[in-house]
Amino acid sequence: MPCSLRALRRYLGNMLSAVTPFRQAALMLSIPASASLFTGCIVLDCAPVQAECVALFCASATENRLKHFDGFGGAVFFASTCGRFALECVIWKDPAALAAARENPAFSGHMRVVEHHCSLRHVSFSSISHTVGVDTVRLERGDRFFLRMYHCPAESVSRQLEDLRSASELARANSLFQMAEDGASLVLLSREAIDTSATPALRAMIAEPALHNEFTVVESIAAPGIGEKFAPLYNLALVPEQSTGHCKFQEGRTHV
């Protein structure tokens, strides 16, 4: 492996122990059907069996830094059961809140570590996010969901949304979907597997998935509670190990 996973797990252990009092109350995130949400879906292609480790690392960074930015509404981190893909679903108040957070250097401090271990398979941010068949989708640590990611044909977004909302197969599977603003991509999460081959309407609408996998919720991060503050800042650097030529994480902590 190009970098030491032992170092990453050691880092995660330090980070998670530092925030335990806050994390115990954030084991589940609820997404109501009536909410007006600006959501992001990020799929990372990891080295074999690293997905859970990467998902935990991203959750730690979110717990310690990102969730304290104005407009953060929550995030859920998944790892595929095959161990290859990590999935992040994040909620922001609106595009302006996300844009403002990105201006802060602390927002992206963990990303260069993630980029070293993973390649970006998909990213989309959109205000088109809905539940189907259930009033509220609850995402709790250990829950399993089926993900289908599609590249959609060019047609009316409103028509595609109407078709999705009326699809009985999606309703029976208690689904959550996010569609790109231009309708070019669709991310579908469901508690039950959906057999689109037996559903001509769905098959005609969204064709074959670009990615189809089963995921487990690794961690959920809620918006900060009253009195929560930034945790002490960790500075991470990837440096070569003298003995093996591999990389390791160098940790430093500066109080803010």
Token pair of 8 as six digits: 């990453």
The least confident of 13-22, 46-55, 185-194 is 13-22
Could you read off the pLDDT of 205-239 as tens digits, one per residue?
666 788 889 999 999 998 887 766 666 555 555 55
At residue 150, the pLDDT reads 84
What lies within 8 Å, CB to CB, of 178 at 6+ separation is: 39, 41, 89, 124, 126, 128, 129, 186, 187
Contact 178, 126 (CB under 8 A): yes
Least confident of 29-43, 48-62, 230-244: 230-244
Q: Which is more confident, 51 or 173?
A: 51
> Which pTM was predicted?
0.75
Q: Which has the higher per-residue pLDDT, 136 or 253?
A: 136
Instruction: Please determine, for residue 4, whether its predicted confidence score (pLDDT) is greater than 80.
Output: no
Class of the CATH-defined domain 5-254: alpha beta
pLDDT, mean of residues 179-207 = 72
- Residues contacting residue 158 through CB under 8 Å, at least 6 positions apart: none
- What mean pLDDT is predicted for residues 243-249? 47
The domain locations on the chain are 5-254
> Which position has the higher pLDDT, 161 or 42?
42
